[in-house]
C-alpha cells in the first residue's frame, strides 16, 4: 500500500492491458511476437502514461527472458558491459535470453549507445527502449536500424474510464458520474495522470471524512494540465498545427492552437515570433500590412503582458489567417541564394558602381547610369543584375491581394527591359556587320 496507486494497478498480464489494441490486439504484430516468444529489439515510443513500461514488463513475463532494467541517466558504459557479460553467461549456461529495458532511452548518450550496439546486433541482449521523444532524432541511426519502433497512442476516453473504474474498486471508494468524467477529461490520454489525480483526491476525501468523491472534489484537488511540452513532439505538433491553420486561412483553428500553447505555458514571445515570420514568409506582398500587424502585436504584448496581451495576439492570429497568401518573396530569396552560391561574387556592372573619387569616375564607374526619377513614370528600362545573370527572374508575384497590382506593374517593366536588351543586341550586331 506504500506504492503509488499507478504502480499498484500496473497490469501484469497481456489481457489486463488497456489500450494499444493496434499493437497487442488479437492478431496484431507485437502480440504475435510475444505469444511466439520471438521478441525483437524494439523502441516503444509514445506520450507519458500510455503503457510503455507496463508493456515492457508484460513482454518479459510472457517470455522465458530475464528483464534487466537500466537507467540511461544513472548508468554508464561500465554498467552496460557488466550487464552484457552477465547476459552472455546466462545465455551460455541456462539458454536464457536477457531483455535490457532502458526507460527514457532518449537520454542515452553516444558512448552508451555505441557500447550497446554490437551486443544488440549479435543478439546477446534484446533491447527494449521506452521514450516520449521521437527516436529518429534521439537514437543514433545504427542502433535504431536494429530495432522495431512501436508507436503507442494516447489512451481513449473509454480506456481511461476502465482504468479509473479499476482504481475506484482498488481504493474501496465510490464516485459520482461527474467525478469520473472530470478524471477522464483531466487525464488527457495519460493513465498515470488519472490515477495520480484520483489518489490525491481520495487522500483529501479521507482526510475530510467523506465517503465518496464528487466532481467538486476533483476540480478542487486537481488542476488540468494539457499535454504540451516545450521541447518534445507535442510542442512541435501543436506549433505545426498553428502555422498550418494560419496558412490554410482558418482563423478559428489558429486561435484554438494559439490558446492551447498559451495555456500550456508556451512563452508568448515564441508564438509572436512565429507570427512575424509567417507574415513575411506566407503572406508577403499579398498584404504587406500583415507584417506590421504581427509586429504591432509583439509591441503591444511587451506593454501589457498576460493575460491582456493575449488579445492583440488573437487579433494578429485572426488577421494573418484571413489575409491573402503569397510566398513569392520567400521563394525569391531562395532562388537568389542559389545563384549567389553557384556564381560567387560576380562583378558589379560599371554603370551601377559608385564613383566617389575622380579616379573611379575616369575608370567608368557610374557611367551610363540613368536616374529613374528623371524619366516618365519613374521607370527606365535598365539591367541591374550582373551580366551573367541578366534576365533572371527570382520574384514571381501572385495575382492575390495587393500583389496582383505589383504583378501587372512588374510585367510591364520586365517586358520593357527585355525589349531594350533585344534592341541593344540588334544594334551591336548591326555595328559588327558594318565593321
* pLDDT band at residue 251 under the 50/70/90 scheme: very high
**Distance between CA atoms of residues 283 and 129, nearest Å:** 43
Let me know if 256 is exposed, middle or buried by CB neighbors in 10 A (0-12, 13-18, 19+).
Answer: middle
Q: What is the pLDDT of residues 19-58, one digit of tens each?
A: 888 888 888 888 888 888 888 889 999 888 888 888 888 8
pTM, full prediction: 0.59
Q: What is the pLDDT of residues 256-265, one digit of tens each?
A: 999 988 887 7
Query: pLDDT averaged over the chain?
Result: 85
What are the DSSP E strand ranges found in 187-292?
212-213
pLDDT at position 224 is 46
pLDDT at position 280 is 96
Residue 345 has pLDDT above 80, yes or no: yes
The answer to whether 139 and 113 are in contact (CB under 8 A) is yes
Residue 218 has pLDDT above 80, yes or no: no
pLDDT at position 328 is 94
* pLDDT band at residue 434 under the 50/70/90 scheme: low
**Dihedral angle, C-alpha 218, 220, 222, 225, nearest 10 °:** 110
* pLDDT band at residue 431 under the 50/70/90 scheme: low
Residue 156 has pLDDT above 50, yes or no: yes
Closest CA relative to residue 214, chosen from 225, 223, 205? 205
Q: Sketch out the chain's domains with CATH numbers.
A: 20-151 (3.40.50.300), 157-221 (1.10.8.60), 233-322 (1.20.272.10)
pLDDT at position 212 is 77
**C-alpha dihedral sign at 328, 330, 332, 335:** negative
Amino acid at each position: 500500500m506504500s506504492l503509488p496507486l499507478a504502480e499498484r494497478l500496473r497490469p501484469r498480464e497481456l489481457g489486463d492491458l488497456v489500450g494499444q489494441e493496434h499493437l497487442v490486439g488479437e492478431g496484431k504484430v507485437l502480440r504475435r511476437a510475444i505469444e511466439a516468444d520471438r521478441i525483437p529489439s524494439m523502441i516503444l515510443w509514445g506520450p507519458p502514461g500510455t503503457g510503455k513500461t507496463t508493456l515492457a514488463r508484460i513482454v518479459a513475463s510472457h517470455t522465458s527472458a530475464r528483464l534487466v532494467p537500466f537507467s540511461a541517466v544513472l548508468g554508464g558504459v561500465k554498467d552496460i558491459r557488466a550487464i552484457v557479460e552477465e547476459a552472455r553467461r546466462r545465455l551460455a549456461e541456462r539458454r536464457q535470453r536477457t531483455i535490457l529495458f532502458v526507460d527514457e532511452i532518449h537520454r542515452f548518450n553516444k558512448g552508451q549507445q555505441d557500447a550497446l550496439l554490437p551486443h544488440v546486433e549479435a543478439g546477446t541482449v534484446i533491447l527494449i527502449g521506452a521514450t516520449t521523444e521521437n527516436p529518429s532524432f534521439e537514437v543514433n541511426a545504427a542502433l535504431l536500424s536494429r530495432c522495431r519502433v512501436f508507436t503507442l497512442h494516447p489512451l481513449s476516453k473509454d480506456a481511461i474510464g476502465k482504468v479509473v473504474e479499476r482504481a475506484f474498486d482498488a481504493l474501496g471508494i465510490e464516485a459520482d458520474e461527474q467525478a469520473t468524467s472530470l478524471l477522464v477529461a483531466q487525464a488527457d490520454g495519460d493513465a498515470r495522470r488519472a490515477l495520480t489525480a484520483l489518489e490525491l483526491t481520495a487522500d483529501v476525501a479521507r482526510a475530510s471524512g467523506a465517503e465518496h468523491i464528487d466532481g467538486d472534489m476533483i476540480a478542487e484537488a486537481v488542476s488540468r494540465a494539457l499535454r504540451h511540452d516545450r521541447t518534445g513532439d507535442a510542442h512541435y505538433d501543436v506549433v505545426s498545427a498553428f502555422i498550418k491553420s494560419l496558412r490554410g486561412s482558418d482563423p478559428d483553428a489558429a486561435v484554438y492552437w494559439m490558446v492551447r500553447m498559451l495555456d500550456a505555458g508556451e512563452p508568448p514571445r515564441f508564438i509572436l515570433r512565429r507570427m512575424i515570420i509567417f507574415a513575411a514568409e506566407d503572406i508577403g506582398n499579398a498584404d504587406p500590412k500583415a507584417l506590421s500587424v504581427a509586429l504591432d502585436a509583439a509591441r503591444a504584448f511587451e506593454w501589457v503582458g498576460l493575460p491582456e496581451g493575449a488579445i492583440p495576439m488573437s487579433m494578429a492570429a485572426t488577421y494573418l489567417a484571413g489575409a491573402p497568401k503569397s510566398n513569392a518573396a520567400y521563394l525569391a530569396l531562395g532562388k537568389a541564394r542559389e545563384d549567389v552560391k553557384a556564381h560567387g561574387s560576380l562583378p558589379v556592372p560599371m554603370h551601377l558602381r559608385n564613383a566617389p573619387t575622380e579616379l573611379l569616375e575616369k575608370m567608368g564607374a557610374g557611367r551610363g547610369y540613368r536616374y529613374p526619377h528623371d524619366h516618365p513614370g519613374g521607370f527606365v528600362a535598365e539591367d541591374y543584375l550582373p551580366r551573367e545573370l541578366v534576365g533572371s527572374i527570382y520574384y514571381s508575384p501572385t495575382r492575390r491581394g495587393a500583389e496582383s497590382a505589383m504583378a501587372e506593374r512588374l510585367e510591364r517593366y520586365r517586358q520593357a527591359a527585355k525589349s531594350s536588351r533585344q534592341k541593344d543586341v540588334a544594334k551591336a550586331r548591326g555595328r559588327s556587320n558594318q565593321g
